[in-house]
Amino acid sequence: MNLTILGSTGTIGKNTLSVINKIDKKINIFALTAKSNIKTLYSQIKQFKPEYAVVLNLKDAGKLATKCKKNKIKTKILSGRNNYNFVASHIKVHCVLSAIVGAAALEPTYSAVKKGKKILLANKESLIMSGSLMMNEAKKNKALIIPVDSEHNAIFQILSSSGLEYNHLGISCSGDIKTITLTASGGPFLGLSKKRLSKVTPKEATCHPTWKMGKKISVDSASMMNKGLEIIEAAILFRLKSSQIDVLLHPQSIVHGLVTFSDGSTISHMSNHDMRIPISYALSWPKRFKLRINSKVENILDNLTFKKIKPGSYKCLDLCIKALKIGKNAPTVLNAANEIAVDNFLQNKIKFIDIPVIIDKALKVMPIKKFNNIKSILKCDFETREYIKSYIEKKWK
């Protein structure tokens, strides 16, 4: 199997390469991509010898090409967003891991879907932005979209193990599903007062208690935006209504998802909080690799806790549910506003509690309309970002 990894220098990309190192089955790395981390990318190129490697700008590509040439590495070095699309849709590629952070993953992921590839989806934003457009294209081209996020992968494992067929049409017999439940650790600020939240720092927000993740997704976890985005993703992936998706606070991050079926049965998925497990299943589906990862779940069963989330407890979570119910381009507006808000928070330009205020403003101001194509999605994304940048600049001088 030839695999392209979009975002190989991030946490998911690194864990995927770690899984590939552990398994006996041959998976050939066709292409690796990064934004600008050429140091890590070069070490990956040396080890895996991909046919292509892609970075964002020409200058970094030149530096990387010089290093490869000096060490007689034959990997072809490319640059630019168009070449992300090129390595994602290449005729030799069977499978694409979409692990680029944020909206930047939309075009290459969509390019892969149009060519009927197997997509391992670790980037939820590309699906949230495109919604039914991405899923309809997958159906048309018989592309498989398999979730890598631990919660969606858990739901996917439960449904697959329960005999429900999964193909380019999604999960069949969805009428058998009464509800699904996603779990949330609550992030580093679980239980903090609003007064204390107004003073939290980017450093505190990026210290997740259980998962090792990038800065952006760590902030999203702290605000519960990440869980809200996961609700939208689950609705699209599994063809469910918002009323069929629940969330439980579960700080230990051992139970990742539950499915309640129409006969009253509830089945859960448990594993250590190790991203190599969902990555491995996404790569191996419908079978399983022998990963040889130590599992000690049974030793902590007595300490597992679960708590319902009261409506209004997390503004970002509520805004995601609102955007899902509105539909059309509302999730795209929400996502774009959040990315700009989080970036400004990480630069200490706004407070943590300002993030949902900014997102709410975007949902109220930006026109809500239906998408016809990727260009219209990208236009909405761009216009929302520009509006929010201007809004922040005026209000938070």
127: domain CATH number is 3.40.50.720
**Average pLDDT of the chain to the nearest whole number:** 92
Percentage of residues of the chain with pLDDT beyond 70: 97
Task: Please tell me the distance from the alpha carbon of residue 204 to that of residue 300, in angstroms, as a whole number.
Answer: 27
Q: Does residue 61 fall inside a structural domain?
A: yes
Checking if the pLDDT of 173 tops 70, the result is no
Q: What is the pLDDT of residues 305-355, one digit of tens each?
A: 999 998 889 999 999 999 999 999 999 999 999 999 999 999 999 999 999
Predicted confidence at residue 18, as pLDDT, reads 95
Predicted confidence at residue 229, as pLDDT, reads 96
Checking if the pLDDT of 168 tops 90, the result is no
Checking if the pLDDT of 386 tops 70, the result is yes
329 within 8 A of 368, measured Cβ to Cβ:
yes
Predicted confidence at residue 146, as pLDDT, reads 95
Task: Please tell me the distance from the alpha carbon of residue 303 to that of residue 18, in angstroms, as a whole number.
Answer: 30
Predicted confidence at residue 167, as pLDDT, reads 62
Helix then strand then coil, % of the chain, to nearest 5: 50, 15, 35
Q: Does residue 126 fall inside a structural domain?
A: yes
Checking if the pLDDT of 53 tops 90, the result is yes
Out of 112-121, 123-132, 147-156, 202-211, least confident range:
202-211
Compare 162 and 346 and report the one with higher pLDDT: 346
pLDDT band at 256; cut points 50, 70, 90? very high
pLDDT band at 169; cut points 50, 70, 90? low
Residue for token pair 């899923």: 135
Checking if the pLDDT of 172 tops 70, the result is no
For the entire predicted model, the pTM comes to 0.93
Mean pLDDT of 82-94: 98
Residue 143: domain span: 2-147
Q: Does residue 327 fall inside a structural domain?
A: no
Predicted confidence at residue 300, as pLDDT, reads 75
Q: Does residue 21 fall inside a structural domain?
A: yes
For CA atoms 338, 340, 343, 345, the dihedral sign is negative
Predicted confidence at residue 190, as pLDDT, reads 85
Q: Which of 107, 111, 97, 330 is nearest to 235 (CA)?
A: 330
Q: How far is CA 79 from CA 90, 166, 298, 331, in A?
A: 16, 35, 47, 30
323 within 8 A of 231, measured Cβ to Cβ:
no
Q: Does residue 139 fall inside a structural domain?
A: yes
Q: Does residue 289 fall inside a structural domain?
A: no
Q: Does residue 308 fall inside a structural domain?
A: no
pLDDT band at 170; cut points 50, 70, 90? low
One DSSP character per residue, 37-73 reads -HHHHHHHHHHH--SEEEESSHHHHHHHHHHHHHTT-
Checking if the pLDDT of 118 tops 80, the result is yes
The total domain count for the chain is 1
Q: Does residue 339 fall inside a structural domain?
A: no
Mean pLDDT of 30-58: 97
Predicted confidence at residue 277, as pLDDT, reads 94
pLDDT band at 207; cut points 50, 70, 90? confident
pLDDT band at 12; cut points 50, 70, 90? very high
Checking if the pLDDT of 372 tops 70, the result is yes
pLDDT band at 52; cut points 50, 70, 90? very high
Q: What is the pLDDT of residues 176-203, one digit of tens each?
A: 889 999 999 988 888 888 889 999 999 9
Rounded to the nearest angstrom, the gap between the alpha carbon of residue 306 and the centroid of all alpha carbons in its chain is 24
